[in-house]
Structure 1
Amino acid sequence: MLKLEKVDAYYGYIHALKNVSLEIKEGNIVTLLGANGAGKTSILKVISGLLKPQQGNVSFNGKDLTGQSPDKVVKQGIIQSPEGRQVFPELTVKENLQIGAYTQKNRSEANQSMEKVFHYFPRLKEREKQDAGTLSGGEQQMLAIGRALMAKPKLLLLDEPSLGLAPLIVKDIFSIIKEINGQGTTVFLVEQNANQALSISHYAYILETGKVIHHGPAAEIKNDSKIKQAYLGGH
Structure 2
Amino acid sequence: MLKISAINCYYGYIHALKDVSLEVPEGKIVTLLGANGAGKTSTLKAISGILPIKSGKIEFMGKDLTKLTVEKIVAEGIVQSPEGRQIFPELTVEENLKIGSYTRKDKKNIPETFERVYNYFPILKERKKQIAGTLSGGEQQMLAIGRALMAKPKLLLLDEPSLGLAPLIVKNIFGIIKQINEEGTTILLVEQNAVQALNIAHYGYILETGKIVHQGKAEDLKNDDKVKKAYLGGQ
Q: TM-score range by the shorter chain?
A: over 0.9
Q: Name the counterpart of 2:39.
A: 39
The letter for the 2-side match of 1:174 is F
In structure 2, C-alpha distance between the alignment counterparts of 1:108 and 1:66, rounded to whole Å? 32
**Residue of structure 2 equivalent to 1:82:** 82
Tell me the equivalent position of 2:99. Answer: 99
- 1:232 positional shift: 1.6
1:107-138 C-alpha deviation (Å, 9 max, x unpaired) = 33111110100000000000000000000000
CA offset at residue 105 of structure 1? 2.9
Secondary structure, aligned partner of 1:19 = strand
The correspondence of residues 10-49 of structure 1 with structure 2, limited to 5 A, is: 10-49=10-49
**Deviation at residue 88 of structure 1 after TM alignment:** 0.4
Following superposition of structure 1 onto structure 2, how do residues 55-70 of structure 1 map, counting pairs within 5 Å? 55-70=55-70
* Unaligned segments of structure 2, at least 5 residues: none
Q: Distance in 2 between matches of 1:107 and 1:74?
A: 16
Which has the higher mean CA deviation after the structures are superposed, 47-56 or 107-116? 107-116
Q: What does 1:207-226 correspond to in 2, within 5 Å?
A: 207-226=207-226
Percent of matched pairs sharing the same residue: 69
Aligned partner of 1:123 in structure 2 is 123
SS of alignment partner, residue 58 of structure 1: strand
Letter of the structure 2 residue corresponding to residue 155 of structure 1: L
Paired position in structure 2 for 1:170 = 170
User: CA–CA distance in 1 between the matches of 2:105 and 2:22?
Assistant: 33
SS at the partner of 2:205? Answer: strand
- Tell me the SS of whatever aligns to 1:181: helix
Q: Which aligned runs of 4 or more in structure 1 are off by greater than 4 angstroms?
A: none
Equivalent position amino acid for 2:159 in 1: D
TM-score, normalised with respect to structure 1: 0.99
**Quick check: 1:203 aligned with 2:200?**
no
Q: Which residue of 1 aligns with 2:151?
A: 151
| Amino acid in the other structure paired with 2:40 | K
Report the CA distance between 1:226 and its aligned residue: 1.4
Q: Which segment drifts farther, 104-113 or 66-75? A: 104-113
**Aligned to 1:105, what secondary structure does the other structure show?**
coil
Output the CA distance in 2 between the equivalents of 1:68 and 1:19: 20
Q: How far apart are residue 233 of structure 1 and its match?
A: 1.1
Deviation of 1:3 (Å) = 0.6
Q: CA deviation at 1:201?
A: 0.3
In 1: Cα distance, 2:104 partner to 2:54 partner? 33
Paired residue secondary structure (2:176): helix
Using the size of structure 2 for normalisation, the TM-score is 0.99
Q: Match of 1:214, SS?
A: strand
In 2, the alpha carbon distance for the partners of 1:226 and 1:88 equals 41
